[in-house]
Amino acid sequence: MTVAYRGVTVLEDFSLDVRMGEIMALIGPSGSGKTTALRAVAGFVQPTRGRIKIGTRDVTALPPYERGIGMVVQNYALFPHMKVEDNVAFGLRARKAPRDLIERRIDECLRLVGMGRFKGRYPRELSGGQQQRIAVARALAIEPRVLLLDEPLSALDAQIRRQMVDEIGKLHRDLPALTVLYVTHDQTEALTLADRIAIMHDGKLSSLGPSQSLYRQPPNRFTAEFLGRANLLPIRIEAVDRNAGLLDARFAGNLLKVSYDAKAQIGAEHLVCIRPHALRFAEDGARGNRINATVEEVQWQGDHHAITFNCGGTTLRLVTKPLRERLERGVVVDLTFDPDDATLIGAGG
């Protein structure tokens, strides 16, 4: 679908196929269109072109209250003038469900999110995390087929956030038929929870795939840099060995072996992406890739050391267990990595 407001295209030719029962994370920088996409699925934004289907049903022309979706937003939006149980019951009451069904669902959903004790309280008596759990219970009460989460944890403290990520994961396991579309700008949430991740950039879909594949083998430069930190080495292909599954790549004077990629051609210039934790110090005498680099900056960050190197003008970042000995600036060391950990990225990104 395409969404445009007053001449500004917010989403362009955006197509996404979310499988039933999966958690799909939509991530991207602000302005990438991820929230617009979510709201279009919810029905608050009308696409100027395209259709939206939930299951086999085309819902594009349907108002939000007929689509069978549940929505959880960043600031919870619990109705302050209603008790917790009335909040959870709201959707069912609006659809005129029978009273005993409502009572049953309230208890079920509150139990699902672990908030059964708070039935009779008012939202203002609850903490942020508790309110968000009620918001989730409220959305689940109407048994939606799709659950839409719009940056649900952004308003919470870091510690509560970690807890809630676990709880959402557990919820997903308890409700295997529920499809979840999760918009966030926090990669950790996405990497932890999502089955598949869709990365958005400037209103377009940049890449889509299972979280691990996207992380280990990013298909383009934006994905490499957005999902985790990346070292991007400019290289030139010198040899291609398809049988061994290796490429010979020249980087700043070093000849490296990286894993084979079909789009590699001899003489072509590409970028190779290596994650900081895939770089390590080379042992003396060991064979394999060697990069000769100069230490620029050493930062201790508690549970790891982050070291920045310079090699022929390119900055490399390495993350390692805390070093026993001090490493001085200006020292020249050899770095190594496994060919499998290096992914070729088209120079265009």
Q: Which of 9, 47, 108, 191 binds another protein (CB under 8 A)?
A: 47
Q: Which of 57, 79, 127, 163 binds another protein (CB under 8 A)?
A: 79
Residue 8, by phi and psi: left (phi above 0), alpha (psi -120 to 50) or beta?
A: beta
Rounded Cα gap, residues 290 and 257, in angstroms: 9
Q: How far is the CB of 53 from another protein (least distance, A)?
A: 6
Phi first, then psi: what are they for 264, rounded to 5°? Answer: -75, 135
For another protein, give the closer residue by CB, 77 or 191. 77
**What residues does 181 pair with on adjacent strands?**
24, 148
51 is a contact residue toward another protein (CB under 8 A): yes
Rounded Cα gap, residues 201 and 109, in angstroms: 36
60 is a contact residue toward another protein (CB under 8 A): yes
Strands (E), the chain: 3-5, 8-11, 23-27, 53-54, 57-58, 69-72, 146-150, 179-184, 196-201, 204-210, 231-241, 246-251, 254-259, 269-274, 280-281, 291-300, 305-311, 314-320, 332-336, 342-345
Q: Which of 28, 33, 91, 129 binds another protein (CB under 8 A)?
A: 91
For another protein, give the closer residue by CB, 1 or 247. 1
Tell me which residues in 140-159 interact with another protein (CB under 8 A). 142, 148
For another protein, give the closer residue by CB, 92 or 190. 92
Strands 23-27 and 179-184: parallel
Q: How far is the CB of 325 from another protein (least distance, A)?
A: 48
65 is a contact residue toward another protein (CB under 8 A): yes
- Contact positions vs another protein (CB under 8 A): 1, 13, 15, 17, 42-44, 46-51, 53, 60-61, 63-65, 67, 69-71, 73, 75, 77, 79-81, 90-92, 94-95, 122, 124, 135, 138-139, 142, 148
